[in-house]
Structure 1
Amino acid sequence: MSGYALSLDGIIGLSIQKNVKIKNQANVVKISVTVVSLMFAISLITNTLSIITFSQPKTRDVGCGTYLLFSSIISLLTITIFSAKFIYLLMTQIMMNPNRPAMNVSCILLEFLLKFLSTTGEWLNAVVAIERALTVALGATFNTYKKTSASIAKYVFILVLLINIITSIHDPIYRRLIDDRIEERTWCAITYQNRPWLKYYTSTLNSIHFIIPFAINVVSAILIIIKSGRAKSNAQTDQPYRQILKKQLIKQKHLIISPLILVILASPRLIISFVYVCMKSTREPYLFLFGYFISYLPFVTPFLIFVLPSETYKKECLTGIKKLSRRH
């Protein structure tokens, strides 16, 4: 069970009782069912609203809107696969004699899709943070690059998608079903036996996919704050810098809130992933569950992170909803 990192299999797998109904399962299992159901329901609503918002032409005048449209679609797919993965785990651990070929296909396919979709979503959010930082840094000069930004956004998305697929392609190759005769269970896991390089390669990639987008969001938020304050202080020399900076924080809140929320939500997973390594012990499942579920919150709440802080996006969301209501 070691090497699972933050995996639902390792957190609650041993707590799932064979041939026992959900209502009679352990509390940690019932809580997981409730949380996953809520996450899927909320994701369906918020991601649909985000897709409606960023489907409006005005939101895609620059590349940022296009990235957020793709990010909303990826987020909806991620939570859908995440929910399917949870159902798969319950079924395979509760059933006494599950279908082996079906288990094998689900094991390989679901894990691969969940892995590359989640990292793709994180990188798209990082690209959004980069473009927003450039918008503030370039100021009025950015207007000349608007059309270029919008036109290359689709190609950047394809590039991000391909990179994440390539860096995740080893997962279905080395992933397989493993029979645990001691616990009398079957696990879906990557086998590191006789391949020590694979363990370090996977750990390195996981760190890169997490730490770099995390760092980009942190740096982008800081740059937006500093650059906004400096630009206005140069124009208004009679006002103190702190006062100008405060005004800019309020004015540019929609650009700053998003990366800060993403950083806050990512921090628990970073801490738990590096502090707790062996998942064999189930003495603290709630701590692991907290870290696991919170890492998927950015895919559940893109509407709250990107749309609500922006007056422009909120107006376009209402416009999109009105258009849909007229059609139906």
Structure 2
Amino acid sequence: DISDREELNLKKQVLYKDSLPSRLLITSESVIHPVFGLINLYTNQSTIQYHLLYTSSTAGSSLNLTLRFTKKNYCPHSHDIFNLRNETYKIRNVVAKYHTLCDNTTSKSSPLLCFVDDDYFCLCDINNTAQCFLYNKKFDQCKQCLAQGQCIKGDIDTPSDYLCLCPRCHFGSKCQHNTKLFSFNLDSLISPDLLSSSLVKQKLSLSMYIIVPAVLLIYGTISNLLSLVTFRQPRTRQNGVGHYFFTGTIFSQLSLFCLLSKILHIIINIRGLFILPIVNTVLCKILSFLLSSSNRICYWLIVFVTIERIYVTIYPTKRWLQKPKIEKRIITLITIFTCASHAHELIKYVIVDDPKYTANGKWCVTQLSRPLQIYNQTNTMIHYLTPFLVNLICTIVLLILIARSRANVDKNKSRWKIFQEQFKKKKDMFIPSMIHIISALPHLIISFSLACSDLDTKWQRYMLIISYFAAYVPQCLSFHLYVQPSQLFLREFHATKMWKTLARSRNTVN
């Protein structure tokens, strides 16, 4: 509509995502429709195309229009017409030439129906004269989007009717999901299934995403309890390996508990179920922090297990690295370093409202500045790649050292035969680190392969989900990885009261 001050006022706005209908029915409460209609096409955050929809004051309660996007009804920017994008000092001089754009006789190309500049929207009238009106291009803007995404409003009276144009490597209703390298999280992976338009898929996904971590937690609780009972025995902690396994078991149990709690928290927020705001915010911060920290502390502890075993293999008579005092200091430093490097999560994780899908829907997201984004990504890569690579290299070196030491004694046997014998004999030295490597490798490869992708195809996202849960398998197998392969640790477990009670119960049943 055009006011007396020649300024455009927005009367009605409709938002379409992905595609437009071929025909459009416009209804109005008044007898006369607005003077003209305009279509804004957003191809990305920086590119907007303006097309004139209609220009007549038609009486009636509705307009039935056919949508066409042609050169004729396209409204170009005056800077593009006069090639002045990079010559701002000439812009004021061309305003006087605006009327020539509407003139059939002076225009070198076909005359225009409309055009825009930074401040005005101009229509060419029947007299070939440009009628320009102040046009606030922020009419259709809003502030719902994260990660510097551009927010486009739909119905002015409906707060949930908006669309976010997300920057590269971000997606979601509020650009809340990040797909940069090693930035995938549970929210971005499972939320599409929980928000599916199919109720059957919603229920199936909900069941699976609760059952899988619940099974990991239940089995892990049994395994970790047996491991803790074993590593409480004094003889198991006469060297550093026992201390590392004891601490790793505690953090394994914590990470499994946080995994299930985090998924339940995501489901509660997406469904819009009621939680006190302060409690919801605390859970958002604490669960994200503990899930990241506890899982990565486990990785670092296994690295030092492998390093200590290399040390013992190279220096069999030295015990400096095996001293309990040294190991406790290393464990303390690992814990402090890992927690401190993730401390920003306690500050930057926040709860944001998202009424787009459910009335009280919410997201637990980070709002990071550009420097913090770089730090967060670098920090994540360090905690993923460094333990993985060090563990892999140390395991290979350990295998080579043991095989070579026996080869000097058993010269009549082939190196491969010696390697097989030593691997079976000392499997307790290799199994924990190898299982951690195997479980982390798929997630590592897939995260690299799908970095900054839109995850449009389901198989990509499901591969990430499977690899994500697979990375937690070692945390629920502590007894099988740390205790069972070792004759010493297994013997100590058989000396515990728990084992004796279990043995008596089994004998009673039999």
Q: Tell whether the structures are fold-level matches, with TM greater than 0.5.
A: yes
Shift of 1:85: 1.4
Quick one: distance in 1 between partners of 2:273 and 2:430?
Answer: 51
Please state if 1:11 is matched with 2:185. no
Residues 229 and 263 of structure 1, relative CA distance in 2, 3 Å threshold = same
Shift of 1:175: 1.4
Quick one: distance in 1 between partners of 2:376 and 2:212?
Answer: 28
Residues 169 and 9 of structure 1, relative CA distance in 2, 3 Å threshold = same
Shift of 1:267: 0.6
Quick one: distance in 1 between partners of 2:458 and 2:409?
Answer: 59
Post-superposition Cα deviations, 1:279-323, rounded to whole Å, max 9, x if no partner, equal 664734432220111111121111122222222221212212457
What residue number does 2:218 align with? 41
Structure 2 gaps, min length 5: 1-175, 503-510
Question: In 1, are the aligned partners of 2:213 and 2:260 still within 8 Å (CA)?
Answer: yes
Question: In 1, are the aligned partners of 2:252 and 2:475 still within 8 Å (CA)?
Answer: yes
Q: Which one-letter code corresponds to 1:295 in the other structure? A: A
What residue number does 2:485 align with? 309
Question: In 1, are the aligned partners of 2:244 and 2:327 still within 8 Å (CA)?
Answer: yes
Which of the numbers 353, 356, 362 marks the counterpart of 1:186?
362
The percent of aligned pairs where both chains have the same amino acid is 25
Shift of 1:324: 7.0
Q: Which has the higher strand share?
A: 2
What residue number does 2:417 align with? 243
Post-superposition Cα deviations, 1:95-148, rounded to whole Å, max 9, x if no partner, equal 354432221111011111111111111111111111112122223x13x447x5
Which 10-residue stretch deviates more, 8-17 or 164-173?
8-17
What residue number does 2:404 align with? 230
What residue number does 1:215 align with? 389
Normalised TM-score (structure 2): 0.58
Quick one: distance in 1 between partners of 2:445 and 2:357?
Answer: 29
Residues 233 and 102 of structure 1, relative CA distance in 2, 3 Å threshold = same
Q: Which has the higher helix share?
A: 1
Question: In 1, are the aligned partners of 2:269 and 2:363 still within 8 Å (CA)?
Answer: no
Rg bigger for which structure? 2
Quick one: distance in 1 between partners of 2:301 and 2:295?
Answer: 10
Which of the numbers 264, 276, 299 marks the counterpart of 1:99?
276
Q: What secondary structure does 1:177 align onto?
A: strand
Which of the numbers 198, 205, 211 marks the counterpart of 1:28?
205
Which 10-residue stretch deviates more, 290-299 or 83-92?
83-92
What residue number does 1:126 align with? 303
Q: Which one-letter code corresponds to 1:2 in the other structure? A: H
Q: What secondary structure does 1:34 align onto?
A: helix
What residue number does 1:168 align with? 342
Residues 241 and 174 of structure 1, relative CA distance in 2, 3 Å threshold = same
Structure 1 gaps, min length 5: none
What residue number does 2:133 align with? none
Q: Structure 2 matches for 1:233-312, cutoff 5 A? A: 233-277=407-451, 278=453, 281=456, 283-284=458-459, 285-312=461-488
Post-superposition Cα deviations, 1:60-99, rounded to whole Å, max 9, x if no partner, equal 1101101100000111111112222122122222235443
Normalised TM-score (structure 1): 0.89
What residue number does 2:292 align with? 115
Shift of 1:179: 2.6
Quick one: distance in 2 between partners of 1:316 and 1:228?
Answer: 26
Q: Which one-letter code corresponds to 1:172 in the other structure? A: L
Question: In 2, are the aligned partners of 1:54 and 1:68 still within 8 Å (CA)?
Answer: yes
Q: What secondary structure does 1:235 align onto?
A: coil
Quick one: distance in 1 between partners of 2:357 and 2:367?
Answer: 18
Quick one: distance in 1 between partners of 2:300 and 2:279?
Answer: 32
Quick one: distance in 2 between partners of 1:322 and 1:49?
Answer: 8
Question: In 2, are the aligned partners of 1:28 and 1:286 still within 8 Å (CA)?
Answer: no
Which of the numbers 138, 141, 154 marks the counterpart of 2:315?
138
Q: What secondary structure does 2:495 align onto?
A: helix
Quick one: distance in 1 between partners of 2:334 and 2:203?
Answer: 40
Question: In 1, are the aligned partners of 2:195 and 2:357 still within 8 Å (CA)?
Answer: no
Q: What secondary structure does 2:177 align onto?
A: coil
